[in-house]
Amino acid sequence: MSIEDDILFIERVPTLRMLGREALRILAIGAENRQVRKGEVLFVAGEAADCGYVIQEGAFRLESPSRSLADIIVGAGALLGELALITETKRPATATASEPSTVIRISRSLFLKMLEGYPNAAHILRDQIVARAQRALTEMSDIRAMLDTSQTPPQ
């Protein structure tokens, strides 16, 4: 695939699309394309995460080590390791290719350098993260209220 093909593909990823075409060009130029065989592990739960992966072709099974969450399958267009693009973190799940797959690996250092060069993209990303955090807090508050109501003894 060409750089232009990679840019077009990355533009389909909602989190990355909003950064703008020129910022995505930087990512596409600096990113690595990688083939992953069926059954091959892309990353393991608990290991340090230093990059994100955009699934270009194929699919991956994500397995939680605690088994508290059901395994899920993610396919083309998914971004794995979104948080790892901006901060040090550990992988919350193991990703195993469920079929032959291709991924675009975006390192944290590349992503952060791109944000330095495109401050408008950094502001857009910050706003999106804040909005997500606010939605998550609202959802947690709603769940807490439901739990509190269900635990209140009848009068």
- Residue 66: is its pLDDT beyond 90? no
The pLDDT, as a whole number, for residue 68 is 61
Whether residue 155 is predicted with pLDDT greater than 70 in this model: the reply is no
Please state, for a pLDDT cut of 70, what percent of the chain lies above it. Answer: 94
3-state secondary structure the chain: CCHHHHHHHHCCCHHHHCCCHHHHHHHHHHCEEEEECCCCEEECCCCEECEEEEEEECEEEEECCCCCCCCEEEECCCEECCHHHCCCEECCCEEEECCCEEEEEEEHHHHHHHHHHCHHHHHHHHHHHHHHHHHHHHHHHHHHHHHHHHHCCCC
**Side chain identity at 21, as an amino acid letter?**
R
pLDDT band at residue 67 under the 50/70/90 scheme: low
How far is 145 from 50, CA to CA, in rounded Å? 37
Which residue type sits at 25? R
- What's the rounded mean pLDDT across residues 110-114? 93
In the prediction, which pLDDT does 98 show? 97
Which residue in 95, 101, 42 sits closest to 73, CA to CA? 95
In which band, very low, low, confident or very high, does the pLDDT at 65 lie, cut at 50, 70 and 90? confident
Q: Which residue has the tokens 């401050």?
A: 119
**114: number of Cβ within 10 Å:** 22
84: pLDDT strictly greater than 70: yes
* Whether the Cβ atoms of residue 41 and residue 147 lie closer than 8 Å to each other: no
Q: Which single residue is written with the structure tokens 């091959």?
A: 40
Tokens, residue 14: 């909602």
Q: Is residue 34 over pLDDT 80? A: yes
Tally of domains in the chain: 1
Give the count of beta carbons closer than 10 Å to the beta carbon of residue 111. Answer: 22
Q: Domain of 18?
A: 3-151
User: CATH number, domain at 46?
Assistant: 2.60.120.10
